[in-house]
Amino acid sequence: MRYFVTLSYDGAAYHGWQIQPNANSVQETLQNAFSTILRQNIEIVGAGRTDTGVNASKMIAHFDVCTPIDAIRLVKQLNRLLPQDIAIQHITPVVSDAHARFSALSRTYHYHILLSKSPFSRHYAYRYPLPLDFQLMNEAAQQLFNYTDFTSFSKLHTDTKTNNCKIRRAEWIQDDVNNWTFVIQADRFLRNMVRAIVGTLLDVGRGKLTIPQFCQVIESQNRCAAGSSVPPHALFLSDITYPDNIYINIEE
């Protein structure tokens, strides 16, 4: 049987989601916990690969077992065993061909900008001390809908077969006088894509790039033409959507 796991994590202590040699990862930490409790080797497959230091307020993963499990009990057991920076919210049965990564319809990320010093938000927002024109940044963000190839915002030398993505939402939202959030939704994302887009939009907001120049960056399909990637600690994977028909007896 296949199950979807809904979880969240603080990425500060991890070298990203994916298992890698000699580095602490979210995936490996989960697999060890699941395998210990279920007393069998469990492979955890995530909806995506968040980079080092990136957080997830909502990540979806799947795993397989031979017999049905008590999902509510397993959630409690896992949360007792897992470290404090990883939390399981739900475990839900799904159809056998449902896939956490390939069945996803969309993914949403939030990037948090802090305009003034805050001792409480510093771990989860990027303090940016220079003046920014967010109206201009939003005008530039709307240009993203006109493109599908985002090579300019992709980490180099990745194993992806295509750099095409369909962006469905991209906007800056003001949370309060000193806090802004960039919200972006797409069917898929390239490695480092959100952080590179935000970094380039900040260049627009500072007046270093015009909107036509921002478009030229995208059209160049050259990562060197885009702005610097912003720090990972302010980035959150915040939502992933799936077709309703993949769930079995879903509990609200």
Q: Tell me the pLDDT band of 252, cut-offs 50, 70 and 90.
A: very low
Q: Is there a domain that residue 11 lies in?
A: yes
Q: Residue 245 falls within a domain, yes or no?
A: no
Q: Which of 59, 21, 17, 22 is nearest to 191 (CA)?
A: 17
The answer to whether 35 and 41 have CB atoms below 8 angstroms apart is: yes
Of residues 178, 56, 197, the one with CA closest to residue 127 = 178
CATH number at residue 129: 3.30.70.660
Contact criterion met (CB below 8 Å) for 96 and 248: no
Is 189 in the same domain as 233? yes
Mean pLDDT of 178-187: 96
Our answer to whether residue 51 is catalytic in this structure is yes
* Separation of alpha carbons 108 and 188, rounded Å: 9
CATH of the domain at 58: 3.30.70.580
Question: Does residue 61 sit in the same domain as residue 125?
Answer: no
Residue that terminates a domain, selected from 68, 103, 138? 103
Is residue 49 located within the same domain as residue 97?
yes
| Domain-located, residue 249 | no
Mean pLDDT in residue range 26-33: 97
Considering the domain boundaries, does residue 247 fall inside one? no
Query: Has this prediction a pTM greater than 0.85?
Result: yes
- Judge if 66 and 111 occupy the same domain: no
Instruction: Say yes or no: 168 and 220 in one domain.
Output: yes
Q: What is the pLDDT of residue 155?
A: 83
- Flag whether 128 is in a domain: yes
Are 62 and 121 part of one and the same domain? no
User: How far is CA 210 from its chain centroid?
Assistant: 28
User: What's the first-to-final CA gap in the chain, in angstroms?
Assistant: 20
Please check whether residue 94 is in contact with residue 4, taking contact to mean a CB–CB distance below 8 angstroms: yes
Q: Under DSSP, is residue 74 helix (H, G, I), strand (E, B) or coil?
A: helix
**Distance, C-alpha 30 to centroid of its chain:** 17
Q: For residues 237 and 54, is the Cβ–Cβ distance under 8 A?
A: yes
pLDDT of residue 156: 75
Tens of pLDDT, residue by residue over 193-226, are: 999 999 999 999 999 999 999 999 999 999 999 9
Domain identity same for 36 and 116: no
Amino acid identity, residue 15? H
Asked if the structure places residue 88 within a domain, the reply is: yes
Same domain as 98, residue 207: no
Task: Please indicate, yes or no, if residue 180 is contained in any of the structural domains.
Answer: yes
The position carrying tokens 């771990």 is 123
Q: How confident is the model at residue 97 (pLDDT cuts 50, 70, 90)?
A: very high
Which of 10, 51, 85, 203 does the annotation list as catalytic?
Answer: 51
Question: Domain check: are 150 and 65 in the same one?
Answer: no
pLDDT digits (tens, 9 = 90+) for 132-177: 999 999 999 999 999 999 999 998 766 678 899 999 999 999 999 8
Residue at 59: amino acid letter: M
Question: Number of structural domains, the chain?
Answer: 2
Where does a domain end: 67, 84, 103?
103
- Identify whether residues 228 and 150 lie together within a single domain: yes
User: Does 45 lie in the same domain as 135?
Assistant: no
Regarding whether 227 and 207 lie in a shared domain, the answer is yes
Residue 143 within a domain: yes
Domain boundary among 43, 77, 103: 103
Domain span including residue 13: 2-103
